[in-house]
Amino acid sequence: MQEHAAGLPETHGHEETHQHEPTGFWTKYIFSQDHKVIAMQYTITALLVGVVGMVFSWLMRLQLAFPGQLSLIQPDNYLQFMTQHGMIMVIYLLTAFLLGGFGNYLIPLMIGARDMAFPFLNMMSYWTYFVSVILLFAAFIVPGGPSGGGWTIYPPQSILPGASPGSEWGIRLLLMSLAVFVASGTMGGLNYVTTVLQLRAKGMTLMYLPLSVWGIFVASVLALLAFPALFVGGVMLLLDSLAGTSFFIPLVNQFGRQLGHEGGNPILFQHLFWYFGHPEVYIVILPAMGVVSDIIANFSRKPIFGYKAMVISILAIGGLSFLVWAHHMFVSGMNPYFAFWFAIATLAVAIPSAVKTYNWMLTLWGGNLWFTTPMLYAIGFVSTFVAGGLTGLYLGNTAVDVPLTDTYFVVAHFHLVMGVSAILGIFAGIYYWFPKAIGRMYNETLGKLHFWVTFVGTYAIFFPMYWLGAAGMPRRYYTNEAVTQLPPSSHELNIFITIAALTVGAAQLVFAFNLVWSIFKGKKAEGNPWKATSLEWQTPQTPPVHGNWGPTEPVVYRWAYDYSVPGASQDFTPQNVAGGPAQKAKASGKTKH
Amino acid sequence: MNLPAHTPTHPRMEEASHGNSRGPGGPDGWNSNSDHGGDHDQPRLATAKAGLWLFLVTATVVFSMLLSAYVERKTGTDWSILPRLGILWLNTGFLVLSSAAMEWARRLARRGDLQGTRFWWLLGGAFAVLFLLGQLLAWQALYIAGYGLSSNPSSSFFYLLTTLHGLHLLAGLIAWGWATVSIVRLPETALAKSGIKIELCALFWHFLLLVWLAIFGFIWFVS
Ligand code: HEM
Ligand SMILES: [Cu+2]
């Protein structure tokens, strides 16, 4: 890294400009308040936690392909791997990575700010997340091991002794970890939202923001509104477990013995959980959508199609996500009219989602496509989002959901639409911003190899699960021996899926190698290798230094999609370039549809 | 959502343009952590207030979720009505006075009246402490009446709601204590420096009063 702001006149209030430039190792790399360092900390931690989540998925797949042949995997372990895998992937990897990693790195750079609004809070947010990860893994060394109550941790079985593995200390640590994570997410979310609202560079109106910022911004608002429900549900569940209260636990007779609870309502927990849980899936998908939009526009050398419609769709998806939670509870015995409403609201989500999908396609259409690794990942995202999202329309209909719920159909649906899509979006973003963040290029050949194995492989894993689910293979089962309706061929399919899962896992080694090798040995990157318009590519140094912009903050004159403007001297015009021709398709409302 | 109005331009850019002596576009004050002179309080205040408002929105969701769960759980047949604790009215009075004193301190600070600010500021904190002590007495009374944390869902909710509310107020008091150090030491002219802290504390206090009134209302009237 270069030292800060080369060529900065010393007379120029240097003291004050950089008074927070940290010099010691601890303040520079560990307890740093610089958003870029915090972003790296989030990124590295989330990726490492994600590796653990991935290893658990292999163990489950090994069991499903070769039932009972690995003594390591007993039924209880299976449930624990499953629960921890789900929790890790959704919360500790995807949420932490997309908000804490991308959010932290991109927001200040893309809006032309020098840092977050509250750098100290930002640092606290990371370290609180770190504590939540420690608590998560602490569950592995307590008696009974981690919780095996499913990632939805429904009571009563998640906290009644003997009802599921880890239902005493495992679940308590998990609940504490989640509460701490919520605290971390709240500190982060406050920061991201305030920063976007208050610290935009001069000229950067809301409708000039790149879609990445829009996605992260709305996701952060969702986090602020949804995490409290998880917090409340978690604290109440913890009290039921630790203090013997009866918020959720009804009168239970266990082995002829009456437990101390009475009258609690387990369905109440489901409402609290899904009031958080559904918006949560958009918390991870909206930032990925934003990132993908920017990457597709750049590598098509075209303005994003329907920018305004994209922004409205993001807002609509965000708003609707609070009205649909009970579609996860169709089999909980709810009033059919209630279910009807939730089905309608769920189907309505398809409209803004389809708008976004068409806009991506129309951006690609006729574009001057440049198939770099990030572009491949972005297109892959659109593909898996559709392949997973369309079956959401099936599951959103109560009558269709009832037979399909708790089968592999659901596993296929949510893995494709939120799991794989979000991961592909993350990979797209990592490759795309790697040159800026590290100052070196990654290896394109290895990147493409990584993409093709991952992309084809994840389809091979999850697409056949639709058939398995339709054939009646139940979700969360250690073994399917007793599931008589399954045809024998389903077992061969399960072996095939496991092989695909292990192959995809191996491909991640290529990614890891590419990352590490390129950090040290990659070709030096220029400041703007993708010829992109948004502000993060216009920093005076690459990688950007503390304070990001040198002596003067950027001033913004145009939106982020002035690609291939007729009459311009080059095929992209950065946001901080004044004058000259601009796309007609401006944010002013004169979008050409 | 209830966010304070903001200008699309970076507020600090304007500052630089009207005669800030720190040089062209001097980006001082960009770091909200940095403690510069009073010049910079306006944009910092707007940013800090936006952050606090967002936090209040989140906290509102926390308490609304709990109160919805309260209403739902109350329909259970095992729900029993808690003894009416008169001390809660007294505590409510303390919190109203506390909030009013903080508001008064805020107004006097805006007018630059340091003596008055100090007086009402300290009084506001003192009433908040009285409120918390009163809540502890309420717990004791409830406990003596035979209602522990897990005795009945009504008492479980009571302890949970009052604890969460009390912890928020306690956090507020820590911020208050931290601000008090500088307010008490302050020379007359530098009142503006603590203006942000006073503004934010007052806002937080009013919010916690509203939350308490909601909790109290549910406990007293919806049981
Ligand atoms: C190659 C990658 C992955 C593989 C092979 C995989 C495999 C699995 C398997 C075998 C299960 C258990 C199904 C069952 O027994 O019911 C599962 C559950 C789950 N997975 Fe994945 N998964 C992968 C990636 C992801 C990602 C990226 C996410 C992020 C959203 C995710 C989220 C979940 C969730 C939420 C569950 C449900 C856990 C539960 O039922 O409590 N997975 N996965
Ligand atoms: Cu949902």
Amino acid at B11: P
Check residue B187 and give its pLDDT: 74
pLDDT recorded at residue B12? 37
A443, pLDDT greater than 90:
yes
Confidence at residue A191, expressed as pLDDT on a 0 to 100 scale: 97
CA nearest neighbour of B102 among B134, B124, B77: B124
> What's the pLDDT at B21?
30
Q: How many CB atoms lie within 10 A of CB A371?
A: 12
Cβ pair A227:B58 closer than 8 A: yes
The token pair at A169 is: 């200390």
State if residue A475 touches ligand 1 by the CB under 6 angstroms criterion. Answer: yes
The reply to whether ligand 1 has any atom less than 6 angstroms from the CB of A60 is yes
Average pLDDT over residues A260-269: 92
3-state secondary structure of A152: coil
3-state helix, strand, coil in chain B (%, to 5): 75, 0, 25
pLDDT greater than 50 at residue A9 = no
Task: State the pLDDT at residue A581.
Answer: 87
- Residue in chain B lying closest to A21 (CA): B31
Alpha helices in A164-210, H assignment, sequence order:
169-198
**Amino acid B15: pLDDT:** 35
Note whether residue A308 is domain-resident.
Answer: no
From A80, A415, A473, A476, the mutation candidate for ligand 1 (largest count of ligand atoms within 8 A of CB) is: A415
% of chain A with per-residue pLDDT over 70: 95
DSSP A374-431: HHHHHHHHHHHHHHHHHHHHHHHSHHHHHHHTTBHHHHHHHIIIIIIHHHHHHHHHHH
* Predicted pLDDT of residue B41: 57
Q: How far is Cα B82 from Cα B91, in angstroms, rounded to an integer?
A: 17
Task: Judge whether residue B39 has pLDDT over 90.
Answer: no
Label residue B188 by pLDDT band (50, 70, 90). low
pLDDT higher than 60, residue A131:
yes
pLDDT band at A257 (very low <50, low <70, confident <90, very high): confident
Nearest Cα neighbor of A114 from A438, A544, A434 is A544
pLDDT reported for residue A424:
98
**What mean pLDDT comes out for the span A154-181?**
96
Please check the confidence at residue A589 and state whether its pLDDT lies above 70.
no
Examine residue A436 and state whether it is found in any structural domain, yes or no.
no
Domain boundary residue, one of A229, A250, A271: A250
Does the Cβ of A89 fall within 6 Å of ligand 1?
Answer: yes
pLDDT of residue A583: 80
Tokens representing residue A259 in the block = 């437990």
B80–chain A Cβ distance below 8 A for any pair: no
Q: Which of A228, A250, A272 is the last residue of a domain?
A: A250
Mean pLDDT of all residues belonging to chain A? 93
What average pLDDT score do residues A521-545 get? 96
Q: What is the pLDDT of residues A313-368, one digit of tens each?
A: 999 999 999 999 999 999 999 899 999 999 999 999 999 999 999 999 999 999 99
Q: Would you say residue A267 has pLDDT above 90?
A: yes
Residue ranges with CB less than 5 Å from ion ligand 2: A 278
A447 within a domain of the structure (yes/no): no
Residue A116 has a pLDDT of 97
Q: Is A419's C-beta closer than 6 angstroms to any atom of ligand 1?
A: yes
Domain boundary among A250, A266, A301: A250
Q: Tell me, yes or no, if B28 comes closer than 8 A to chain A by beta carbon.
A: yes
Does residue A279 carry a pLDDT above 70? yes
Q: How confident is the model at residue A487 (pLDDT cuts 50, 70, 90)?
A: very high
Q: Are B39 and B20 in contact (CB under 8 A)?
A: yes
Give all domains of chain B, ordered by start, each with its CATH number.
43-73+85-221 (1.20.120.80)
CA of A79 to the centre of ligand 2 (A): 22
Chains A, B: CB contacts within 8 A come to 155
* Residue in A closest to B70 by C-alpha: A247
Report, as an integer, the average pLDDT of A538-557. Answer: 95
Q: Choose the closest CB to B8 out of A186, A200, A232.
A: A200
**Of A114, A202, A236, Cβ closest to residue B30:** A114
Q: Do A202 and B77 touch (CB under 8 A)?
A: no
| CB of A201 closer than 8 Å to CB of A111 | yes
- For residue A592, what pLDDT is reported? 38
Question: Cα separations (Å) of A486 from A205, A282, A296, A401, A479?
Answer: 57, 34, 42, 19, 12
Residue A546 lies in a domain: yes
Residues of chain B with Cβ-Cβ distance to A264 below 8 Å are: 73, 76, 153
Let me know: does A349 contact A324? Beta carbons within 8 Å.
yes
Cβ atoms of A92 and A157 closer than 8 Å:
no
In a domain, A560, yes or no: yes
CA distances from A457 to A196, A315, A494, A574, B207 (A): 37, 33, 14, 37, 52
Ligand 2 centre distance from Cα of residue A267 (Å): 16
Domain that includes residue A579, residue range: 533-587
The minimal CB distance from A190 to the residues B28, B32, B54 is found for B54
Residue A85 domain-assigned? yes
Instruction: Enumerate the residues of chain A whose CB falls inside 8 A of the CB of residue B34.
Output: 16, 19-20
Residue A563 in 3-state DSSP? Answer: strand
Q: What is the signed CA dihedral for A47, A370, A355, A454, rounded to 10 degrees?
A: -40
Taking the CA of A147 as reference, the closest ligand is 1
Residue A224 maps to a domain: yes
Q: Does pLDDT of B108 surpass 60? A: yes
Q: Is A201 on the interface with B (CB under 8 A)?
A: yes
More confident position, A8 or B40:
B40
pLDDT reported for residue A317:
97
Mean pLDDT of A442-459: 98
Considering its fold, how many domains does chain A have in total? 2
What mean pLDDT is predicted for residues A475-504?
A: 95
**Phi, psi for A71 (deg, rounded to 5):** -65, -20
In a domain, A137, yes or no: yes
| CATH code of the domain covering residue A71 | 1.20.210.10
DSSP 8-class letter at A372: -
**For residues A515-520, average pLDDT:** 97
Tell me the average pLDDT across B71-83: 92
Burial of residue B189 (CB within 10 Å: 0-12, 13-18, 19+) is exposed
Using CA atoms, how far residue B147 sits from A232, A511, B48, B152, B220, in Å, is 22, 58, 41, 7, 16
Q: Which ligand is nearest to the CA of A421?
A: 1
Q: Which of A120, A202, A246 sits opposite B10 (nearest CB)?
A: A202
Q: What is the pLDDT of residue A27?
A: 84
